[in-house]
Amino acid sequence: MSGNLLSGGGAGLLPHGVCFQLRPDLIWLHVVSDAVIAVSYFVIPVLLLYFIHRRRQPLSFNGVVALFAAFIVLCGLSHVLGIITVWTPIYYLQGIEKAITAAVSLATAIAIVPLVPRLLAMRSPEELAEANQRLREEITSRELAEEELRRSLEKMNRAVKELEQFAYITSHDLQAPLRTISGFSQLLTRRHRDKLDGDALEFLDYIDKGARQMQQLIQDLLALSRVGRSDAAGIERKPLAETLTRTIKGLKATIDRTGAEIAFGTLPEVEANHGLLVQLLHNLIDNAIKFQRPGERPKIRIDISRDGDFWELKVADNGIGIPPDQLDSVFAIFKRLHAPDDYEGTGIGLAICRKIAEYHGGSIHATSDGSGAQFHLRLPVTVPKQRPPTAVADLRSI
């Protein structure tokens, strides 16, 4: 059988040209047509393979493309064999080639079926052009919005700097007349005490006390305005224990007078502006000592733990605590929960603490229970180089 295939398809079979009555015009019409079709069929898979090779990203249906290329090659080969059968009757070989082509074409058709929904979902050139136009419009709109946002941020930063400078200069200039008022009231009391009655001395005491309260308020305002004026050079990694020790030394007189106990365990190195941390810890510890029940010894506990990319610093006391509905508002500037005669203060200390926390890219909040108040300071392990600007709302309140 194989010999018959190679020798012309078997004895007794005639070449296909006999059907054309060996007419040259008819033979060459078929031969040239089959040749052109075969060449075209062979070129198509070459172009497909070249496209796949040069494409930067692989197609998700390369297997289907390969089957289609094989089908096209076999179709071209069938036309080549059709040319040969004009003169040589290799019909068995031609039939086998057609059977192979049929199998490949069936496999190609089956593989194409799942691709039909995806092909139907493909957008037309007009739809793609429209989508590109919408995308360009959206990009332009976003660029305009970003430019407007940038200008707004620049204006806000300028306003913040102007407000900071105004607050600093105004507060600084206010201290001179206050020193004059306080100094002369004290001088009047010392030199003319014998000539003044009880009411006059009481009024002078009110003047002196009011001047000192105003001076303290101005100092706190200056401290608030200075937060955020430090540059990145103030950020350094230092042991938190040293910063806390420095804070406690600054409160030594108050601690000795009240007998306050301050306990803390092992503290890590922390990246921060440690000058600002001293100020923050000073305010928290001073408040813990100040807002205490009469006759009770202040006890303060400081702990720190790591939570991912943040340090969680907790300052807990055994004081009078904070009402649940005031836990958020205590950080507002000038916010006081008690009368000045009950507890001294200007209502700025916790606002400074919040501003220092935000300057470092962190936050602070308070909790309270029957055993006192707890302040939770959250600081990033690595302070971001781009830190948030000074809060405009705080400065406008000044």
pLDDT of residue 1: 41
- Angle, CA of 244, 246 and 249, to the nearest 5°: 110
Q: Which of 199, 226, 253 is the last residue of a domain?
A: 226
Residue 369: CB partners within 8 Å, gap ≥ 6?
321
222 and 242 housed in the same domain: no
What angle separates helix 62-87 from helix 91-112, to the nearest 10 degrees?
160
The enclosing H or E element of 29 equals helix 24-54
pLDDT of residue 375: 92
Work out how many domains the chain is built from and give that number. Answer: 3
Dihedral (CA of 84, 90, 96, 98) sign: positive
> Tokens representing 65?
């493309």
H-type helices in 259-346, by residue range?
274-290
Beta strands in 109-247 (DSSP E): 236-239
291 and 273 housed in the same domain: yes
- Cα–Cα dist 112/142, whole Å: 41
Residue 377 lies in a domain: yes
Tens digits of pLDDT across the chain (398 residues): 444 444 444 557 888 778 877 788 888 888 898 889 889 888 888 887 777 667 666 555 667 777 888 888 888 898 898 888 888 888 888 889 889 988 888 888 888 777 777 666 666 677 778 878 888 888 988 999 899 898 888 888 787 777 667 766 766 677 777 777 878 778 877 787 777 777 777 777 778 777 766 666 666 666 666 665 555 457 889 999 999 999 999 888 889 899 899 998 889 999 988 888 888 999 899 888 888 888 888 999 999 999 989 999 999 998 888 888 777 878 876 655 555 555 565 667 788 888 889 888 899 998 988 788 899 999 999 888 765 554 434 433 43
Residue 131 lies in a domain: no
Residue 326 lies in a domain: yes
The count of C-alpha atoms lying within 13 angstroms of the C-alpha of 30, restricted to the half-sphere facing its C-beta, is 18
> Tokens representing 351?
């606002």
Residue 132 lies in a domain: no
Residue 129 lies in a domain: no
260 and 335 housed in the same domain: yes
Residue 297 lies in a domain: yes
Q: Is 207 exposed, middle or buried (0-12, 13-18, 19+ CB in 10 A)?
A: middle
Residue 112's CB is within 10 A of a number of other CB atoms, namely 14
- Angle, CA of 146, 152 and 153, to the nearest 5°: 90
Tell me the β-bridge partners of 312. 305, 378
243 and 358 housed in the same domain: yes
251 and 336 housed in the same domain: yes
168 and 28 housed in the same domain: no
Domain boundaries, position 190: 138-226
**CATH code, 372:** 3.30.565.10
> Tokens representing 113?
């079926």
172 and 196 housed in the same domain: yes
Whether 286 and 271 have beta carbons less than 8 Å apart is answered as no
258 and 358 housed in the same domain: yes
**Cα distances (Å, whole numbers) of residue 15 to 35, 87, 232:** 18, 5, 94
Q: Which of 93, 121, 149 is the last residue of a domain?
A: 121
- Cα–Cα dist 224/207, whole Å: 25
CA nearest neighbour of 322 among 334, 332, 330, 314: 330
Collapsing DSSP states into helix, strand and coil, what is residue 68? Answer: helix
Collapsing DSSP states into helix, strand and coil, what is residue 366? Answer: strand
Residue 126 lies in a domain: no
71 and 146 housed in the same domain: no
Residue 133 lies in a domain: no
**CATH code, 154:** 1.10.287
The number of residues making up the chain comes to 398
298 and 356 housed in the same domain: yes
Tell me, what DSSP letter sits at residue 360?
Answer: T
pLDDT of residue 315: 92
Beta strands in 196-309 (DSSP E): 236-239, 261-264, 269-272, 299-307
CA nearest neighbour of 283 among 356, 233, 378: 356
CA nearest neighbour of 96 among 111, 113, 118, 81: 81
Q: Which of 121, 149, 184 is the last residue of a domain?
A: 121
Whether 284 and 315 have beta carbons less than 8 Å apart is answered as yes
Whether 214 and 178 have beta carbons less than 8 Å apart is answered as yes
Whether 380 and 309 have beta carbons less than 8 Å apart is answered as yes
- Cα–Cα dist 54/208, whole Å: 88
Which strand ranges, in their side-by-side order, compose the sheet holding 363-369? 261-264, 299-307, 310-317, 372-380, 363-369
Q: Are strands 299-307 and 310-317 parallel, antiparallel or unpaired?
A: antiparallel
* Residue corresponding to tokens 């970003």: 146
* Residue corresponding to tokens 């029957």: 370
pTM here? 0.51
252 and 357 housed in the same domain: yes
222 and 276 housed in the same domain: no
Beta strands in the chain (DSSP E): 236-239, 261-264, 269-272, 299-307, 310-317, 363-369, 372-380
